Structure 1
Amino acid sequence: MNSAETAPGSPSPPDPPPGGADLGPQVPEPLAEELAQDDNDGFTLGLLSIREDSWPHLALLSVGEVVMTAEDGLRIGLWPASSAARNIQARPRATLTAVTHSTLYSLALQARHRGRLEVGDSELEVFDCEVSACRTSVAPYAELTHGVGFRLFDPVPTRARWAATRERLRSMPAR
Protein backbone atom coordinates (compact mmCIF):
# COMPACT_ATOMS: atom_id res chain seq x y z
CA MET A 1 0.00 0.00 0.00
CA ASN A 2 1.42 3.43 -0.91
CA SER A 3 1.01 6.57 1.21
CA ALA A 4 -1.94 7.76 -0.89
CA GLU A 5 -4.02 4.66 -0.07
CA THR A 6 -6.18 4.21 3.02
CA ALA A 7 -5.73 1.07 5.09
CA PRO A 8 -8.76 -1.25 5.09
CA GLY A 9 -11.18 -0.27 7.84
CA SER A 10 -9.58 3.17 8.31
CA PRO A 11 -11.82 6.21 7.87
CA SER A 12 -11.09 8.27 4.81
CA PRO A 13 -9.99 11.85 5.43
CA PRO A 14 -12.69 14.42 4.73
CA ASP A 15 -12.69 15.81 1.24
CA PRO A 16 -11.27 19.34 1.20
CA PRO A 17 -13.15 21.90 -0.87
CA PRO A 18 -12.06 21.89 -4.54
CA GLY A 19 -9.25 24.35 -5.12
CA GLY A 20 -9.14 25.47 -1.51
CA ALA A 21 -10.85 27.86 0.84
CA ASP A 22 -10.27 30.90 3.01
CA LEU A 23 -10.56 29.79 6.64
CA GLY A 24 -10.10 33.19 8.25
CA PRO A 25 -7.71 34.07 11.08
CA GLN A 26 -7.08 30.67 12.69
CA VAL A 27 -4.72 27.76 13.02
CA PRO A 28 -6.86 25.00 11.47
CA GLU A 29 -7.49 21.89 13.59
CA PRO A 30 -5.45 19.46 11.42
CA LEU A 31 -2.41 21.73 11.70
CA ALA A 32 -3.03 22.32 15.42
CA GLU A 33 -2.98 18.54 15.91
CA GLU A 34 0.40 18.28 14.16
CA LEU A 35 1.84 21.15 16.23
CA ALA A 36 0.63 19.60 19.49
CA GLN A 37 2.99 16.63 19.07
CA ASP A 38 6.40 17.21 20.65
CA ASP A 39 7.92 14.24 18.83
CA ASN A 40 6.44 14.79 15.38
CA ASP A 41 9.60 13.71 13.58
CA GLY A 42 9.75 14.74 9.95
CA PHE A 43 6.83 17.18 10.00
CA THR A 44 8.14 20.27 8.26
CA LEU A 45 6.75 23.78 7.98
CA GLY A 46 7.84 26.39 5.47
CA LEU A 47 8.34 29.93 6.73
CA LEU A 48 8.39 32.57 4.01
CA SER A 49 9.81 35.92 5.04
CA ILE A 50 10.67 39.00 2.98
CA ARG A 51 14.31 39.80 2.31
CA GLU A 52 15.70 43.34 2.22
CA ASP A 53 15.65 43.22 -1.62
CA SER A 54 11.90 42.30 -1.48
CA TRP A 55 12.45 38.72 -2.66
CA PRO A 56 10.95 35.90 -0.59
CA HIS A 57 13.16 33.78 1.66
CA LEU A 58 12.19 30.22 2.62
CA ALA A 59 13.21 28.67 5.93
CA LEU A 60 12.23 25.14 6.93
CA LEU A 61 11.06 24.65 10.52
CA SER A 62 10.26 21.61 12.65
CA VAL A 63 7.72 21.28 15.44
CA GLY A 64 10.68 21.97 17.74
CA GLU A 65 10.48 25.66 16.79
CA VAL A 66 6.74 26.37 16.68
CA VAL A 67 4.01 26.21 19.34
CA MET A 68 0.42 27.41 19.42
CA THR A 69 -0.43 30.16 21.88
CA ALA A 70 -4.08 30.62 20.93
CA GLU A 71 -6.57 29.58 18.26
CA ASP A 72 -5.10 32.32 16.09
CA GLY A 73 -1.61 32.58 17.58
CA LEU A 74 1.77 30.93 17.22
CA ARG A 75 5.13 31.43 18.90
CA ILE A 76 8.18 30.75 16.76
CA GLY A 77 11.79 30.41 17.89
CA LEU A 78 14.45 31.08 15.25
CA TRP A 79 18.24 30.94 15.36
CA PRO A 80 19.51 34.51 15.96
CA ALA A 81 21.91 34.50 13.00
CA SER A 82 19.31 33.14 10.57
CA SER A 83 18.06 35.09 7.58
CA ALA A 84 14.48 34.40 8.65
CA ALA A 85 15.03 36.01 12.08
CA ARG A 86 16.64 39.10 10.53
CA ASN A 87 13.94 39.38 7.87
CA ILE A 88 11.04 39.11 10.30
CA GLN A 89 12.60 41.60 12.72
CA ALA A 90 12.87 44.12 9.87
CA ARG A 91 9.63 43.24 8.06
CA PRO A 92 7.22 41.56 10.49
CA ARG A 93 4.99 39.76 8.01
CA ALA A 94 5.49 36.15 6.99
CA THR A 95 3.67 33.12 5.65
CA LEU A 96 3.80 29.72 7.33
CA THR A 97 2.98 26.70 5.16
CA ALA A 98 2.43 23.03 5.94
CA VAL A 99 0.90 19.96 4.35
CA THR A 100 -1.34 17.67 6.38
CA HIS A 101 -4.58 15.77 5.78
CA SER A 102 -4.19 16.07 1.98
CA THR A 103 -4.23 19.86 2.22
CA LEU A 104 -1.67 22.64 1.93
CA TYR A 105 -2.27 25.28 4.60
CA SER A 106 -0.89 28.81 4.18
CA LEU A 107 -1.11 31.06 7.22
CA ALA A 108 -0.48 34.79 6.86
CA LEU A 109 1.34 35.96 9.99
CA GLN A 110 1.85 39.32 11.65
CA ALA A 111 4.89 38.90 13.90
CA ARG A 112 6.01 40.72 17.04
CA HIS A 113 9.59 40.23 18.22
CA ARG A 114 9.76 39.09 21.86
CA GLY A 115 13.53 39.07 22.27
CA ARG A 116 15.97 36.25 22.89
CA LEU A 117 15.25 33.09 24.83
CA GLU A 118 17.94 30.87 26.29
CA VAL A 119 17.32 27.15 25.90
CA GLY A 120 20.11 24.99 27.26
CA ASP A 121 23.32 26.22 25.65
CA SER A 122 21.48 27.90 22.75
CA GLU A 123 19.57 31.11 22.18
CA LEU A 124 16.56 31.72 19.97
CA GLU A 125 14.92 34.89 18.67
CA VAL A 126 11.27 34.55 19.65
CA PHE A 127 8.33 35.93 17.70
CA ASP A 128 4.68 35.95 18.70
CA CYS A 129 2.66 35.62 15.52
CA GLU A 130 -0.97 36.45 14.99
CA VAL A 131 -2.63 34.52 12.17
CA SER A 132 -4.38 37.16 10.07
CA ALA A 133 -5.60 34.71 7.42
CA CYS A 134 -5.48 31.02 6.57
CA ARG A 135 -5.98 29.57 3.11
CA THR A 136 -6.13 25.96 2.00
CA SER A 137 -4.98 24.67 -1.36
CA VAL A 138 -5.99 21.31 -2.78
CA ALA A 139 -5.95 19.75 -6.22
CA PRO A 140 -9.28 18.26 -7.34
CA TYR A 141 -7.45 15.76 -9.57
CA ALA A 142 -4.89 14.40 -7.09
CA GLU A 143 -4.23 13.80 -3.40
CA LEU A 144 -1.53 15.89 -1.77
CA THR A 145 0.27 13.22 0.27
CA HIS A 146 3.04 15.21 1.94
CA GLY A 147 5.21 18.30 1.78
CA VAL A 148 8.88 18.52 2.60
CA GLY A 149 9.94 15.99 5.21
CA PHE A 150 13.10 14.95 6.99
CA ARG A 151 14.63 12.10 8.99
CA LEU A 152 16.53 12.84 12.20
CA PHE A 153 20.12 11.53 12.33
CA ASP A 154 20.14 11.41 16.13
CA PRO A 155 16.52 11.48 17.33
CA VAL A 156 16.97 11.15 21.11
CA PRO A 157 18.92 14.38 21.78
CA THR A 158 16.99 16.24 19.08
CA ARG A 159 13.63 15.32 20.62
CA ALA A 160 14.96 16.32 24.05
CA ARG A 161 16.04 19.72 22.68
CA TRP A 162 12.68 20.16 20.97
CA ALA A 163 10.80 19.32 24.16
CA ALA A 164 12.90 21.83 26.16
CA THR A 165 12.46 24.52 23.51
CA ARG A 166 8.72 23.98 23.22
CA GLU A 167 8.31 24.05 27.01
CA ARG A 168 10.24 27.34 27.21
CA LEU A 169 8.23 28.83 24.34
CA ARG A 170 4.94 27.76 25.91
CA SER A 171 5.88 29.11 29.34
CA MET A 172 6.66 32.64 28.14
CA PRO A 173 4.06 35.09 29.47
CA ALA A 174 1.66 36.60 26.96
CA ARG A 175 2.08 40.25 26.06
Structure 2
Amino acid sequence: MKYMETAELPDELYELLDGRELITKQHEAMMLMTVTEEGWPHTAMISVGEIVALDRGQVRLAMWNGTATTRNMIRTGKATLVLVYSGKAYYVKLVLRLLPVLPAAKHPRERFEADILSVRADVAAYADIRSGIQVDFKEPEAVLTRWYETLAELRL
Protein backbone atom coordinates (compact mmCIF):
# COMPACT_ATOMS: atom_id res chain seq x y z
CA MET A 1 0.00 0.00 0.00
CA LYS A 2 1.11 3.50 -0.76
CA TYR A 3 -0.04 6.29 1.55
CA MET A 4 -0.62 9.85 0.47
CA GLU A 5 -1.32 12.39 3.20
CA THR A 6 -2.46 16.01 3.03
CA ALA A 7 -4.28 18.54 5.22
CA GLU A 8 -6.96 19.32 2.63
CA LEU A 9 -9.66 17.42 0.79
CA PRO A 10 -8.42 16.22 -2.59
CA ASP A 11 -10.48 17.17 -5.64
CA GLU A 12 -12.54 13.96 -5.75
CA LEU A 13 -13.58 14.21 -2.07
CA TYR A 14 -14.30 17.92 -2.29
CA GLU A 15 -16.59 17.28 -5.27
CA LEU A 16 -18.26 14.33 -3.50
CA LEU A 17 -18.99 16.47 -0.42
CA ASP A 18 -19.89 19.74 -2.16
CA GLY A 19 -23.63 19.30 -1.55
CA ARG A 20 -24.49 19.36 -5.24
CA GLU A 21 -25.99 16.72 -7.53
CA LEU A 22 -27.01 14.51 -4.62
CA ILE A 23 -29.07 12.29 -6.92
CA THR A 24 -25.85 11.03 -8.52
CA LYS A 25 -24.18 10.54 -5.11
CA GLN A 26 -27.10 9.11 -3.15
CA HIS A 27 -25.71 5.58 -2.99
CA GLU A 28 -22.42 6.59 -1.33
CA ALA A 29 -22.17 5.92 2.39
CA MET A 30 -19.26 6.58 4.73
CA MET A 31 -18.23 5.51 8.20
CA LEU A 32 -17.75 8.07 10.93
CA MET A 33 -15.48 6.80 13.68
CA THR A 34 -15.52 8.15 17.23
CA VAL A 35 -14.30 6.85 20.59
CA THR A 36 -16.57 5.81 23.46
CA GLU A 37 -16.05 6.82 27.10
CA GLU A 38 -14.61 3.34 27.62
CA GLY A 39 -12.02 3.95 24.89
CA TRP A 40 -13.59 1.65 22.27
CA PRO A 41 -13.93 2.63 18.62
CA HIS A 42 -17.52 3.46 17.69
CA THR A 43 -18.72 3.38 14.08
CA ALA A 44 -21.71 5.10 12.50
CA MET A 45 -22.69 5.42 8.87
CA ILE A 46 -23.35 8.82 7.34
CA SER A 47 -24.29 9.96 3.86
CA VAL A 48 -23.55 12.84 1.54
CA GLY A 49 -26.76 14.41 2.86
CA GLU A 50 -25.26 14.81 6.33
CA ILE A 51 -21.88 16.34 5.54
CA VAL A 52 -20.95 19.31 3.35
CA ALA A 53 -17.55 20.71 2.44
CA LEU A 54 -17.41 24.46 3.03
CA ASP A 55 -13.97 24.49 1.42
CA ARG A 56 -11.06 22.06 1.14
CA GLY A 57 -10.10 22.49 4.80
CA GLN A 58 -13.47 22.55 6.53
CA VAL A 59 -16.70 20.53 6.56
CA ARG A 60 -19.94 20.66 8.50
CA LEU A 61 -21.88 17.66 9.75
CA ALA A 62 -25.52 17.21 10.74
CA MET A 63 -25.86 14.42 13.31
CA TRP A 64 -28.94 12.89 14.90
CA ASN A 65 -29.60 14.18 18.40
CA GLY A 66 -28.85 11.89 21.33
CA THR A 67 -26.91 9.18 19.49
CA ALA A 68 -23.73 7.59 20.82
CA THR A 69 -21.81 9.10 17.89
CA THR A 70 -23.09 12.60 18.63
CA ARG A 71 -22.31 12.26 22.34
CA ASN A 72 -18.79 11.04 21.51
CA MET A 73 -18.26 13.97 19.13
CA ILE A 74 -19.41 16.50 21.71
CA ARG A 75 -17.26 14.92 24.44
CA THR A 76 -14.01 14.49 22.48
CA GLY A 77 -14.21 17.09 19.71
CA LYS A 78 -12.75 14.49 17.33
CA ALA A 79 -13.88 12.05 14.64
CA THR A 80 -12.46 10.22 11.65
CA LEU A 81 -14.37 9.93 8.40
CA VAL A 82 -13.61 6.68 6.54
CA LEU A 83 -14.70 6.13 2.96
CA VAL A 84 -13.81 4.27 -0.18
CA TYR A 85 -14.20 6.44 -3.24
CA SER A 86 -12.59 6.88 -6.63
CA GLY A 87 -10.39 3.81 -6.21
CA LYS A 88 -8.92 4.81 -2.85
CA ALA A 89 -9.57 4.28 0.84
CA TYR A 90 -9.65 7.64 2.63
CA TYR A 91 -9.20 8.42 6.33
CA VAL A 92 -10.09 12.03 7.19
CA LYS A 93 -9.26 13.21 10.72
CA LEU A 94 -11.62 15.93 11.94
CA VAL A 95 -11.36 18.43 14.79
CA LEU A 96 -14.95 19.34 15.73
CA ARG A 97 -16.81 22.33 17.17
CA LEU A 98 -20.47 22.12 18.13
CA LEU A 99 -22.51 24.81 16.36
CA PRO A 100 -25.54 26.59 17.86
CA VAL A 101 -28.95 24.97 17.46
CA LEU A 102 -31.10 26.31 14.62
CA PRO A 103 -34.46 26.92 16.34
CA ALA A 104 -36.41 26.87 13.06
CA ALA A 105 -34.61 23.87 11.54
CA LYS A 106 -36.79 21.73 9.33
CA HIS A 107 -34.75 18.66 10.35
CA PRO A 108 -33.35 19.31 13.86
CA ARG A 109 -29.84 17.95 14.26
CA GLU A 110 -26.71 18.60 16.23
CA ARG A 111 -24.51 20.59 13.86
CA PHE A 112 -20.74 20.46 13.88
CA GLU A 113 -18.08 22.44 12.08
CA ALA A 114 -14.88 20.49 11.51
CA ASP A 115 -11.39 21.47 10.51
CA ILE A 116 -9.58 18.85 8.48
CA LEU A 117 -6.51 17.81 10.44
CA SER A 118 -5.33 15.28 7.84
CA VAL A 119 -6.48 13.23 4.87
CA ARG A 120 -4.74 9.93 4.22
CA ALA A 121 -5.38 7.95 1.05
CA ASP A 122 -4.48 4.27 0.74
CA VAL A 123 -3.60 3.24 -2.80
CA ALA A 124 -2.26 -0.16 -3.82
CA ALA A 125 -0.10 -0.49 -6.93
CA TYR A 126 -1.26 -4.08 -7.36
CA ALA A 127 -5.01 -3.60 -6.93
CA ASP A 128 -7.85 -1.12 -7.35
CA ILE A 129 -10.35 -0.61 -4.57
CA ARG A 130 -13.63 -1.00 -6.41
CA SER A 131 -16.23 0.10 -3.93
CA GLY A 132 -17.08 1.09 -0.41
CA ILE A 133 -20.43 1.02 1.33
CA GLN A 134 -23.30 1.52 -1.12
CA VAL A 135 -26.97 1.97 -0.18
CA ASP A 136 -30.36 2.02 -1.93
CA PHE A 137 -33.11 4.12 -0.38
CA LYS A 138 -36.68 2.92 -0.09
CA GLU A 139 -37.98 6.47 -0.73
CA PRO A 140 -35.17 8.26 -2.59
CA GLU A 141 -37.13 11.43 -3.43
CA ALA A 142 -38.00 12.04 0.24
CA VAL A 143 -34.40 11.34 1.30
CA LEU A 144 -32.93 13.65 -1.33
CA THR A 145 -35.33 16.45 -0.37
CA ARG A 146 -34.37 16.07 3.30
CA TRP A 147 -30.68 16.05 2.38
CA TYR A 148 -30.85 19.27 0.37
CA GLU A 149 -32.72 20.95 3.22
CA THR A 150 -30.26 19.62 5.81
CA LEU A 151 -27.23 20.78 3.81
CA ALA A 152 -28.80 24.23 3.33
CA GLU A 153 -29.19 24.48 7.11
CA LEU A 154 -25.59 23.38 7.63
CA ARG A 155 -24.41 26.33 5.57
CA LEU A 156 -26.21 28.83 7.87
Shift of 1:52: 0.5
Where does residue 46 of structure 2 map in the other structure?
Answer: 61
Where does residue 8 of structure 2 map in the other structure?
Answer: 26
Provide structure 2 residue ranges, at least 5 long, that are not aligned to the other structure.
none
Shift of 1:93: 1.1
2:14–2:55 Cα contact (<8 Å) kept: no
Shift of 1:115: 3.1
* Distance (whole Å) between structure 2 residues aligned to residue 123 and residue 92 of structure 1: 20
* Distance (whole Å) between structure 2 residues aligned to residue 116 and residue 42 of structure 1: 28
Instruction: Specify the code of the residue in structure 2 equivalent to 1:51.
Output: T
Where does residue 105 of structure 2 map in the other structure?
Answer: 119
Establish whether residue 100 from structure 1 lines up as the match of residue 85 from structure 2: yes
TM, length-normalised to structure 2? 0.92
Shift of 1:75: 0.2
* Distance (whole Å) between structure 2 residues aligned to residue 52 and residue 119 of structure 1: 30
* Distance (whole Å) between structure 2 residues aligned to residue 115 and residue 52 of structure 1: 24
Moved over 2 A (4+): 36-39, 115-119
* Distance (whole Å) between structure 2 residues aligned to residue 155 and residue 101 of structure 1: 23
How many residues matched? 152
* Distance (whole Å) between structure 2 residues aligned to residue 88 and residue 147 of structure 1: 23
TM, length-normalised to structure 1? 0.82
Tell me, what secondary structure is at the counterpart of 1:59? strand
Provide structure 1 residue ranges, at least 5 long, that are not aligned to the other structure.
1-17
Tell me, what secondary structure is at the counterpart of 1:20? strand
> Of 71, 78, 81, which residue of structure 1 is paired with 2:63?
78
Instruction: Specify the code of the residue in structure 1 equivalent to 2:42.
Output: H
| Identical aligned residues as a percent | 27
For the pair shown, the structure with the greater C-alpha radius of gyration is 1
2:30–2:82 Cα contact (<8 Å) kept: yes
1:119–1:164 Cα contact (<8 Å) kept: no
> Of 129, 134, 146, which residue of structure 2 is paired with 1:161?
146
Tell me, what secondary structure is at the counterpart of 2:134? coil
RMSD: 1.3
Instruction: Specify the code of the residue in structure 1 equivalent to 2:89.
Output: L
**1:79-130 CA-partner distances (Å, limit 9, x unpaired):** 012111100000111111111110111111100011333532x310001000
Instruction: Specify the code of the residue in structure 2 equivalent to 1:20.
Output: Y
